[in-house]
């Protein structure tokens, strides 16, 4: 993967993870699978799991450990109010970026 | 990490573990906080399980699966999305927490210095309590400066090393300082006051200062330890928890014991019962033993009710502890060595309750291990034909303390014996005692004790028991005293009698390292030795035999019996009277007497633990209860609720029931026998055909007042016959009181308790004839004039007088008592009404209104050297006579 793509994706991974958890809680692999549904957002576990750990540590996510039918217990993540606020903030900023970039690239796209 | 692993193949497991381990290491190398590392590994593990599902993958399949996943090293790259957690946030500055000199002083230097100071000087231990009584306490306290030193180093260098260990150690130090701060809390206000006024008193505040230093250290360490310092329970929490568990292990039992001790004194019987139940199941004997001593100095730290203000061990609590110790263990607290700890070896324990005269209750008190019996010899003469023996017990005490001590002992005399001589060595000279009314000699003794001069006193302490007290055994010095005991020989048959030695029942001194009882018995007649005691028989002078040997304390406790053969004719002999030898004689006869049948028999069996080894023997002996009589067995158990038996006619069936009561007896701790005795007497009622047999262990404490028991005996017109059998050595507090108002006899003892008891019970079937000494005083006749006095005459006369005094002393009116005292004093006897005391000089005797006995009137045993001198004198005399005859010199 080219470096600039990796850099852009890295910048978005936190937003994407928070966005996946916006509706309901999910365990790590589930988050990974939902992100993988969109090719451009298919992050590897080596990226997603450290982000989940950091967001939990920072109070954005709440962790619940529950038994799994397939093996070791799952760590379920859900948004905390702080995480929800951070997501809103990020989305707002994302929209701003999108708008500004759209303005900048208006001629190119036509 | 999760524990649940559904995959069975070890190689598959190993592959997964190695993959996870590699991820963990990669994250660690990249500087990811520990919490992140575990969280990520758990998520990856969970993902692998989800991907495997229900399948049992082969090694190949799992290799393939792992190959499809991100490589472990890529996790380090993934961290790029995670900001450095140790990087300070904006606006919060970039400075590392400071390692200031003040922090070093408070958290390292101060606790280390105080620990060293206390360990070296024992200042706190000597003035308040010992905060570091064991090496474990020292290690625990040392943990504070050590943990803080490493923490300080981390703060100073910025190199955390293992944050987990650092925080754990800090938590442990925090736990220690919190504990000691709470412990010293009650004295801290005084320490502050002392600092303000006197400029000293820093020591009690040291735990608080160390706590502050450790808490500041904790905050700063957390700041540099990153995520390792967060979460619950944190490593700090684990550290505190570990210390709490250590403290619980060190003090939990002691705390519980002290609490339960308090419950045993509650008004509510159920609370009292609960207290005893707790003590018997989980109580610490060591903690209770310390409470028995009142923990007077160098006391071990007790974080329980014994330390906190208002609930310390008062005199009453100490007495309560002594009672509870007996009830819990069945032993007197004096029967075991005092408790020891790091700073207070055995010898330093002092029974303050006994040292303070106001607390004395006539008991012997605790063993003081620096007060030793260094020399003990028993010299005896036994005259089988006369049926008497006389033993002199010479004791030398050594005091290794730097202050004077009182030596005390309760001595068991041979059955029917009486103390007839008492001496004390003053300035190397042996001084004789004065015999007088008990109260008078006691008062004289107490007066002289207050002057710290040299008295020794002997008074009776129940039937066949005396209490000896001598003071002072000087600091780092010695005291020597001698007790002479006149012993009636036990009649086995007309041709055979038994002699036994006195022994200690209770004492407050220890036996010296090499101390033993040196025995020398000169016997007129042939001798047989019973039991396995290290005594040997050899021929003495003329027709005498000599029994010699060295006995240990245990040997003496085993009651060695010396059997002496005697000529059975004549059955009646006369002896010169000690007081009026010119006009009167004592006539002594071996008289068979039929023992009346006991129609009502109550056997009281002590349910204390000391009965356990003898339970089967007692059960077996009950089969000898006379058939057809009415009998009951009462067990003294459970303290306040003795099991009460009812009379039933003795048949095979009822015997089986009675034996079952004893056979199924659960012997526990020490039981109060007084309620059972009261019920037994109530059951027996009035009448001489009643027999009470009390089989018991030591009764070192009186738990229930004896008033009812004594009142019953005093008010009864015809008391039942009372016999007691003590099955183990130790102090009995009931007998000395009861014996004053009731004629209490001893069950005759031989070698085997079971056989003795069986033979004793069988005596009451109405067909048993027992031989006994019958002594009478009568006027001297012409035939008596030819009687040659022997050294046994005086002893037979004393035994006659002793019988008379005892007969008169039981429930005596003032006139009888007066005559009894006169008689005992004239014959120089220690009886229930009279005692013997030796004072230092004649002036003291005069001040006390006492007269010491004339040395020429006391019974003596010629020393071996005296015998040698007599022999030499006779030989010289004989030689001179022979020489005179040969040379013609002499009377012509």
Return the minimum-mean-pLDDT range out of A91-95, B165-169, B749-753, B825-829. Answer: B749-753
Predicted confidence (pLDDT) per residue in B613-670, tens digit: 999 999 999 999 999 999 999 998 864 444 546 788 899 999 998 998 888 888 888 8
How would residue B891 be classed by pLDDT, with cut points 50, 70 and 90?
very low
Chain A residues lying within 8 Å of B4, measured CB to CB: 68, 71-73
Q: Hey, are the CB atoms on A53 and B40 less than 8 Å from each other?
A: yes
Contact B693, B723 (CB under 8 A): yes
In chain B, the largest separation of any two C-alpha atoms, in whole Å, equals 145
- Listed residue (B701, B791, B7, B48) closest to B318, CA to CA: B701
**Nearest Cα residue to B563 out of B586, B587, B545:** B545
Contact A28 B79 (CB under 8 A): no
N residues, chain B: 892
B148 phi/psi in degrees, rounded to 5: -70, -30
Residue range B759-786, pLDDT digits in tens: 999 999 888 888 889 999 988 877 775 5
CB atoms B39 and A49 under 8 Å: yes
What pLDDT, in 10s, does the model give residues B569-627? 777 888 888 777 778 889 999 988 888 888 899 999 999 999 999 999 999 999 999 99
Q: Which pLDDT score is estimated for B338?
A: 67
Q: What is residue B365's DSSP assignment?
A: -
Contact between B98 and B92 under an 8 Å Cβ cutoff? The reply is: no
Nearest CA in chain A to B38: A53
Residue B336, by phi and psi: left (phi above 0), alpha (psi -120 to 50) or beta? beta
Nearest to A28 among B4, B43, B82 (CB): B43
Answer whether A75 sits within 8 Å of B42, measured CB to CB. yes
Residues of A in contact with B81 (CB under 8 A): 10, 13-14, 47, 50-51, 54
What pLDDT band is residue B724 in, cutting at 50, 70 and 90? Answer: very high
CA distance B431 to B835: 16
CATH topology of domain B596-767: Rossmann fold (3.40.50)
**Mind listing the pLDDT tens digit for each residue in A30-61?**
999 998 888 777 788 888 999 999 899 888 99
pLDDT in tens, B244-279: 888 888 778 878 888 888 888 888 888 888 888 888
Contact indicator for A27, A76 with CB cutoff of 8 Å:
yes
Query: What's CA B211's distance to the chain center, in Å?
Result: 41
Nearest to A52 among B43, B51, B77 (CB): B43
In chain B, which residues have their Cβ closer than 8 Å to the Cβ of A57? Answer: 33, 35-36, 85, 227, 230
Annotate B408-436 with DSSP letters as a single string: EEEEEPPTT-EEEEEEEEETTEEEEPEEE
Burial readout B508-530 (b: 16 or more C-beta within 10 A, e: otherwise) = bbbbeeebbbebbbbbbbebeee
Q: Which of B7, B53, B81 sits opposite A14 (nearest CB)?
A: B81
Q: Which of B269-273, B377-381, B444-448 has the lowest mean pLDDT?
A: B444-448
CA distance B453 to B844: 10
Q: In this complex, is the C-beta atom of B358 within 8 Å of any C-beta atom belonging to chain A? A: no
Q: Quick check: B215 contacting A, CB < 8 Å?
A: no
Percent of chain B with pLDDT over 90: 21
Spell out the residues 6+ positions from residue B743 whose beta carbon is closer than 8 angstroms to its own: B719, B722, B806, B810
- Residues of chain A contacting B, Cβ within 8 Å: 10, 13-14, 27-29, 32, 44-47, 49-54, 56-57, 63, 68, 70-75
Q: Is pLDDT of B65 > 70?
A: yes
Residue A18 CB burial class (10 angstroms; 0-12, 13-18, ≥19): buried
Confirm or reject contact between B8 and chain A (CB < 8 A): no
Quick check: B47 and A51 CB within 8 A?
no
pLDDT of residue B827: 92
Structure tokens that stand for B861 in this block:
């045993």
The predicted-structure confidence for B174-187, as pLDDT tens digits, reads as follows 999 998 898 888 88
* Closest approach of A20 to chain B, Cα-based (Å): 16
Distance CA B50, CA B44 (A): 10
Q: What is the pLDDT of residues B678-690, one digit of tens each?
A: 888 888 887 777 8
Residues of A in contact with B39 (CB under 8 A): 49, 52-53, 56, 63, 75
Q: Report phi then psi at B71, rounded to 5.
A: -70, 145
Structure tokens at B39: 């969280």
Taking the C-alpha atoms of A63, A64, A67 and A70 in order, what is their torsion angle to the nearest 10 degrees? -30
Which three-class secondary structure state does DSSP give residue B437?
strand
> What DSSP line would sit under B495-541, residue for residue?
TEEEEE--EEEEESEEEPTT--EEEEEEEES-EEEESS-SEEEEE-S
Across the strands, what pairs with B649? B630
Res B163: pLDDT: 76
d(CA B518, CA B549): 6
Ramachandran assignment for B888, one of left (phi > 0), alpha (psi -120 to 50 degrees), beta (any other): left
The answer to whether the beta carbons of residues A107 and A87 sit under 8 Å apart is no
Partner residue opposite B49 with nearest CB, options A56, A63, A71 = A71
3-state SS of chain B: helix, strand, coil percent to 5? 45, 20, 35
Neighboring chain B residues of A29 at a CB cutoff of 8 Å:
43, 46-47, 50-51
CA distances from B178 to B89, B145, B191 (A): 33, 14, 18
pLDDT score of B82:
42
pLDDT tens-digit series, residues B470-518 = 888 888 888 999 999 999 998 888 889 999 999 988 888 888 777 789 9
**Do residues B605 and B665 touch, judged by C-beta distance below 8 A?**
yes
Cα B802 from chain centre: 33
A3-20 and A28-36 helices cross at what angle (nearest 10)?
120
Which residue, B816, B354, B798, is CA-closest to B577?
B798
Q: B690-696 and B648-649 as β-strands: parallel, antiparallel, unpaired?
A: unpaired
Count Cβ atoms within 10 A of the Cβ of residue B264 and give its class: 0-12 exposed, 13-18 middle, 19 or more buried: buried
Q: How far apart are the first and last CA of chain A?
A: 28
CATH of domain B370-567+782-859: 2.60.40
Mean pLDDT value of segment B227-237: 57
Beta strand ranges found along B646-768 (DSSP E): 648-649, 690-696, 721-726, 744-746
Does A72 contact B5 at a Cβ distance shorter than 8 Å? yes
User: Mind listing the pLDDT tens digit for each residue in B105-135?
Assistant: 989 998 999 899 888 887 777 667 778 877 8
Predicted pLDDT at B547:
92
Determine the pLDDT at residue B883: 63
User: B331 or A107: which carries more pLDDT confidence?
Assistant: B331
Residue B401 near residue B445, CB atoms below 8 Å: no
Sort out which chain B residues have CB atoms less than 8 A from A73's CB and list them: 2, 4, 46
Length of chain A measured in residues: 110
Using the predicted structure, report yes or no on whether residue B868 has a pLDDT greater than 70: no
Chain A: residue whose CA lies nearest to B1: A72
Please check whether residue B691 is in contact with residue B652, taking contact to mean a CB–CB distance below 8 angstroms: no
Q: Does residue B390 surpass a pLDDT of 90?
A: yes
Each residue's pLDDT tens digit, B280-304: 888 888 888 877 876 543 344 444 4
Domains contained in chain A, CATH given: 3-109 (1.10.10.10)
The ipTM of this complex is 0.86
pLDDT at B427 over 80: yes
The pLDDT value recorded for residue B617 is: 94
């Amino acid at each position: 993967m080219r470096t600039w793509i990796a850099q852009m994706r890295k910048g978005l991974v936190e937003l994407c993870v928070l966005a996946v958890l916006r509706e309901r809680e999910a365990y790590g692999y589930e988050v990974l699978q939902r992100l993988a549904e969109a090719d451009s957002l298919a992050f590897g576990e080596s990226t997603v799991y450290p982000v989940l750990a950091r967001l939990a540590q920072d109070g954005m996510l709440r962790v619940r450990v529950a038994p799994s039918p397939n093996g070791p217990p799952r760590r379920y993540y859900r948004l905390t109010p702080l995480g929800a606020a951070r997501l809103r903030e990020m989305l707002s900023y994302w929209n701003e970026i999108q708008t500004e970039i759209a303005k900048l690239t208006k001629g190119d796209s036509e | 990490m999760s524990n649940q692993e559904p995959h069975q193949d070890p190689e598959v497991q190993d592959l997964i573990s190695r993959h996870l381990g590699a991820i963990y290491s990669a994250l660690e190398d990249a500087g990811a906080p520990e919490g992140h590392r575990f969280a990520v590994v758990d998520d990856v593990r969970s993902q692998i399980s989800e991907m495997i599902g229900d399948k049992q993958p082969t090694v190949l399949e799992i290799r393939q699966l792992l190959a499809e996943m991100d490589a472990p090293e890529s996790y380090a790259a993934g961290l790029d999305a995670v900001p450095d957690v140790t990087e300070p946030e904006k606006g919060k500055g970039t400075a590392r927490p400071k390692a200031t000199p003040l922090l070093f002083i408070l958290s390292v230097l101060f606790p280390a210095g105080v620990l060293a100071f206390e360990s070296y000087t024992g200042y706190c231990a000597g003035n308040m309590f010992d905060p570091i009584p064991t090496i474990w306490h020292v290690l625990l306290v040392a943990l504070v400066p050590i943990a803080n030193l490493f923490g300080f180093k981390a703060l100073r260098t910025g190199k955390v090393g293992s944050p987990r260990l650092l925080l754990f150690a800090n938590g442990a130090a925090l736990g220690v300082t919190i504990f000691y701060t709470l412990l010293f809390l009650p004295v801290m206000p005084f320490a502050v006051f002392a600092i303000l006024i006197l400029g000293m008193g820093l020591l009690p505040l040291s735990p608080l200062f160390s706590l502050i230093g450790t808490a500041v250290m904790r905050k700063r360490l957390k700041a540099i330890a990153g995520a390792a310092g967060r979460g619950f329970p944190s490593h700090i929490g684990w550290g505190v928890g570990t210390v709490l568990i250590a403290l619980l292990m060190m003090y939990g039992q002691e705390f519980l014991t002290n609490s339960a001790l308090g419950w045993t004194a509650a008004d509510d019987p159920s609370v009292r019962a609960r207290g005893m139940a707790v003590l018997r199941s989980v109580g610490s004997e060591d903690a209770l033993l310390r409470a028995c001593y009142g923990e007077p100095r160098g006391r071990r730290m007790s974080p329980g009710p014994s330390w906190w203000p208002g609930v310390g061990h008062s005199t009453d609590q100490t007495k309560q502890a002594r009672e509870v110790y007996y009830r819990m263990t069945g032993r007197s607290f004096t029967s075991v060595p005092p408790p020891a700890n790091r700073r207070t070896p055995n010898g330093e324990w002092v029974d303050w309750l006994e040292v303070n005269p106001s607390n004395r209750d006539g008991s012997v008190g605790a063993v003081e291990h620096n007060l030793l019996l260094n020399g003990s010899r028993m010299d005896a003469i036994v005259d089988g034909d006369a049926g008497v023996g006389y033993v002199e017990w010479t004791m030398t005490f050594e005091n290794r303390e730097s202050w004077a001590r009182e030596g005390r002992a309760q001595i068991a005399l041979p059955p029917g014996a009486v103390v007839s001589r008492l001496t004390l060595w003053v300035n190397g000279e042996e001084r004789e005692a004065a015999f007088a009314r008990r109260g008078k000699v006691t008062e004289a003794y107490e007066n002289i004790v207050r002057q710290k001069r040299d008295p020794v006193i002997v008074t009776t302490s129940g039937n066949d028991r005396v209490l000896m007290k001598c003071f002072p055994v000087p600091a780092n010095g010695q005291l020597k005293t001698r007790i002479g005991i006149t012993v009636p020989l036990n009649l086995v048959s007309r041709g055979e009698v038994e002699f036994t030695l006195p022994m200690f029942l209770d004492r407050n001194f220890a036996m010296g390292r090499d101390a033993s009882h040196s025995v020398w018995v000169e016997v007129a007649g042939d001798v047989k030795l019973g039991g396995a005691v290290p005594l040997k028989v050899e021929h003495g002078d003329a027709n005498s035999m000599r029994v010699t040997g060295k006995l240990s304390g245990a040997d003496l406790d085993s009651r060695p019996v010396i059997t002496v053969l005697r000529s059975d004719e004549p059955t009646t002999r006369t002896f010169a009277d000690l007081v009026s030898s010119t006009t009167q004689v004592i006539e002594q006869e071996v008289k068979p007497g039929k023992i009346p049948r006991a129609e009502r028999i109550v056997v009281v069996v002590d349910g204390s633990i000391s009965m356990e080894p003898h339970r089967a023997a007692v059960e077996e002996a009950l089969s000898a209860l006379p058939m057809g009589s009415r009998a009951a067995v009462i067990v003294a158990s459970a303290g306040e609720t003795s099991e009460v038996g009812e009379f039933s006619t003795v048949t095979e069936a009822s015997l089986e029931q009675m034996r079952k009561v004893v056979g199924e007896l659960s012997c526990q701790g020490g039981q109060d026998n007084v309620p059972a005795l009261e019920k037994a007497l109530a059951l027996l009622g009035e009448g001489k055909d009643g027999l009470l047999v009390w089989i018991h262990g030591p009764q070192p404490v009186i738990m229930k007042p004896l008033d009812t028991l004594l009142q019953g005996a005093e008010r009864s017109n015809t008391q039942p016959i009372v016999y007691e059998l003590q099955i183990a050595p130790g102090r009995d507090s009931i007998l000395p009181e009861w014996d004053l108002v009731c004629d209490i006899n001893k069950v005759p003892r031989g070698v085997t308790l079971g056989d003795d008891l069986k033979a004793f019970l069988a005596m009451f079937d109405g067909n048993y004839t027992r031989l006994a000494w019958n002594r009478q005083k009568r006027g001297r006749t012409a035939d008596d004039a030819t009687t040659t006095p022997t050294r046994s005459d005086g002893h037979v006369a004393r035994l006659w007088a002793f019988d008379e005094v005892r007969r008169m002393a039981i429930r005596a009116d003032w006139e009888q008592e007066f005559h009894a005292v006169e008689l005992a004093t004239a014959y120089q006897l220690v009886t229930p009404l009279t005692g013997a005391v030796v004072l230092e000089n004649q002036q003291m005797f005069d001040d006390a209104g006492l007269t010491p006995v004339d040395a020429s009137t006391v019974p003596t045993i010629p020393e071996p050297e005296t015998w040698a001198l007599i022999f030499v004198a006779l030989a010289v005399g004989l030689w001179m006579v022979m020489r005179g005859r040969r040379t013609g010199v002499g009377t012509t």
